[in-house]
Structure 1
Amino acid sequence: MRSRRFLLSLLATVCLAAGPTVETTTLRIVVKTLKGTPVERASVIVRFNEGRSLRKLGRQVRTNWETRTNSEGVAKIPPIPKGKILVQVIAKGYQTFGQEFEIDEDEKTLEIQLNPPQPQYSVHQ
């Protein structure tokens, strides 16, 4: 009798902990200049919109990822939930890039081109 109760409670706990499954996507971000050369060591931040986050055993894990591009200008993001994301790219000597994307594929590659900085004007010279 006790073993039967124990098994039922264990099964209920496992089912509750699993929770609903979240569809994920693997994201690859390629950062280049306007001339097509890769931008090395650019900071790439990916934020999930609308308060979404990955879930692991019923608790929230992350709402964003931060990484840097490699020598080929590529940043690989681990599996994240499908849906709207905000991608921000910051690199020395370039304008900051920020844009929302709708991700619904299992694997997605985003190609981002960075613009050179705009000239600064000042009345003080």
Structure 2
Amino acid sequence: MESLRRTVAIVEDDASMRRSVLRLLNAHGFLTEEYSSAESFLARDGVSNVGCLVLDVDLVGMSGIELQRRLKESGSGLPVIFITALEDDALKAMAMRAGCIAYLRKPFAAALLINAINDAFKP
């Protein structure tokens, strides 16, 4: 059951970035699910065991901020770690107010992401 709690969903529309994050997390013992859009994440199988979400802010279609808002409105307590290439203090402040675990600017150090995910899985 421990491994189910350590499943991380990666929602990133840049395929090479998504693969890089996936490889990093797998190398650190996390199970992963990958999605190329917020819409595909929302359409996933309901039996998903995701315990943490690594979410790009600037996605094609629905934004990461909008996805986080929808999850919260539906009662989800899924921890969110935002990743972004955007340098926007207002956007960062909005994400932090919405309760994300971390807001990491690309390129970020691998240790920052791993530490944030470990924090998200703490009871």
Normalised by the length of structure 2, the TM-score is 0.25
- Structure exhibiting the larger radius of gyration computed from Cα positions: 1
**Which structure is higher in helix share?**
2
Normalised by the length of structure 1, the TM-score is 0.25
